[in-house]
Amino acid sequence: MKLKNFDLGNKLIVAPMADVSDAPFRKISKEYGAGLTYTPMVSAKGIVENDFHALQLFSFGRDEKPIGVQLLGNSPDYLAGAVQELKNYKPDVIDINCGCPVDKVTKHNLGAQLLDDPIYMGKLIESMVKVAGDISISVKLRLGKSDGKINILETSKIAQESGASFIIVHTRTKNKKYKEDPDWEWLRKVKDTVKIPVVGNGSLFTPQDIKRMIAETGIDSVMIARGALGNPFIFNRYNKYYETGEDSGEPTIEEVAEAAIKHSKLLAREYSDVIATIKARKNIVWYFKNLDGVMVFASKIMRAKNIEEQIEIIHEHIENLKQNFYSKDDRELIDQKFKERVLFWLDE
């Protein structure tokens, strides 16, 4: 997929995810074959007003390029101001989030709530494009508010007319959030409606899922979200699958451990001991979710006092797996729980 200032080729895009898409997560994704990553969504107002937390969220290193920054905002002035400020840092893409369905976002007329007023959404996009220069502007969309109020063809056309470089379409409505199966048929309709590149998103967990979405809808690329949690392997797997038609398959136990430890060490370098340990918990468990004994393992990881102890638990767990120490987990049930709730090992 070719954009203003770079060519993504056939590589995949990693979705911006709150409390997930930090520098360690992005670097692991890139190392394992992702083409483009995004920082977590950040308030446009926060950037303009030099809020420390906002500035932390979008910070990235030159070695991470190409990289995108996703903005959350509903004011043309703040969005334009944020883009103007971000130009100093030279991201390759700046996205406006018109797809987040979470109540704490939509109640402030942000995220997917913007889909209810496509004309105003277009004005927001225009305000960004006018000052973006050679930076690509992307728009993250959903199908609409609900099944009875699907307006993705209208919002897609408005995004194009407003100057967006490409759009990303999550194939569920705002009301469905992340439940129920995505509706890929709308991707084909969107692709037939607009001329700018269309990126598909929604419940993609295997190279076969990705290839099928592209083949069935004709879209230009795919964005991976939950499918990348504890699974950076999906990027190289897809790259090889695209090039050769052969899937290298699930990673070995040793490969999973290597990636999990590498990710944990990156967290230790990025954050204080306490914060790194907390952030490592969910990431480590995600890596091992497809292997037996994950609930026992998660309990130990949650209690570990530091990264070093977590890594020791990983080594112990690997040895237990090699010796078939654990009884067989219900893989289908755990997979279902993960897709419904990514922190599936925690009590409701």
Residues designated as active site: 100
3-state secondary structure string across 150-167: ECHHHHHHHHHHCCCCEE
Determine the 3-state secondary structure of 28 from DSSP. Answer: helix
Cis ω for the linkage preceding 207 (within 30 of 0): no
User: What's the maximum distance between 2 C-alpha atoms anywhere in the chain?
Assistant: 61
Token match 């797997």: residue?
237
| C-alpha Rg value of the chain to the nearest Å | 20
Task: Determine the Cα–Cα distance for residues 341 and 348; give it in Å rounded to an integer.
Answer: 10
Task: Determine the Cα–Cα distance for residues 221 and 213; give it in Å rounded to an integer.
Answer: 9
In sequence order, the 6+-apart residues with CB closer than 8 A to the CB of 190 are: 152, 153, 156, 167, 169, 198
Determine the 3-state secondary structure of 184 from DSSP. Answer: coil
